[in-house]
Amino acid sequence: MDFTLSSDQSALMSALDRLAAPFEQKPTDFHGFALAGPRLEQELENGEYFGIARIPELGALTAAMAVERLAWLPYSVEIALSMLVHPQLGDEWQRPLALVENGRPGRFLATARTALVVDGDHIGLARVAAGEVVPVDSIFAYPMGRFSRTPQVTACSATDAAKLRKWLRIALAAEISGLLHAAIASTVEHLSLRKQFGRQLGTFQALRHRMAECAVLAGGVRWLTLKAAATAEDGDAALAALHAQDSATRIVYDLHQMLGAMGMTLEHPLHLWTYRVKALLSELGGRSGQAQAAARYCFAGA
């Protein structure tokens, strides 16, 4: 598969890099869990970046690359659903979006205008009105909320629900990919600066081996995600989401261990990526849900 960027894709990603540059670092006075980025979201809205997937020269593949790039930032902004799932909805359903599964709290629900409501195998859409959502305190690095009363849900057909679930998996994998790469980069920086026994931690072979394994796993997540966005195949989407959730469990554990006590504090920004990953590990049925989907779509005839 050819992943050489076209001139249009290269230009867009360069523009996205310039837009993201002011948001690369967390504010020095922030020591919480969820770092909201309303200014970043407004700049993305003004630049019409949420419509990337609708442009024929760019499409879903470029949108997935944009999601991954923006997930590197420490700010929590509703990007993945808007860029990859919203194009599958009718114009009457407005962004920002939120995913609410089986009555659990949802990410970005307090600021969403549309909620994708998952109840088992069924998916419906609900408009989110003011006063219908209450915030939920959480250690996850996302703003969380839940409905204060049962929303009015418009049920999707089985065909539409399957299509939405496919793109939800691709959006999930793209976001996890960016978060993992950002968390690895942050850990590499720590290992390069921190010294023990008179040596930089990054010079110890055991840590290098484990970081290499993390990088390989994260690289696999990225390539599977881009393939799924390019092919829009159900099996590719399931495999990408499965590998993303499965690899993330191992990578997050290793990264926090390598930072030692620093990895358990709010001073270091690592949690702004890894605790978002933790919120994503159980979405769409978790690893078992993705494994069942991969078996159904990829190995049904085996």
Question: pLDDT digit of tens for each residue in the chain (302 aa)?
Answer: 567 889 999 999 999 999 999 999 999 888 889 999 999 999 999 999 999 999 999 999 999 999 999 999 999 999 999 999 999 998 899 999 999 998 899 999 999 999 999 998 899 999 998 789 999 999 999 999 999 988 999 999 999 999 999 999 999 999 999 999 999 999 888 777 666 666 776 566 677 888 899 999 999 999 999 999 999 999 999 999 999 999 999 999 999 888 876 667 777 889 999 999 999 999 999 999 999 999 999 987 65
The whole-angstrom separation of Cα 253 and Cα 229 is 28
The pair of structure tokens assigned to 187 is: 């850990």
Pick from 241, 253, 221, 254: nearest CA to 281: 241
- Cα 244 to chain centroid, rounded: 10
Check residue 83 and report its DSSP letter.
Answer: I
Report the chain's C-alpha Rg in angstroms. 19
pLDDT of residue 204: 65
The pair of structure tokens assigned to 131 is: 């006063």
> Residue written as tokens 């997540």?
221
The whole-angstrom separation of Cα 133 and Cα 125 is 15
Q: Which residues pair with 118 in a beta bridge?
A: 101, 123
Q: Does domain 30-91+157-302 correspond to CATH entry 1.20.140.10?
A: yes
The whole-angstrom separation of Cα 52 and Cα 49 is 6
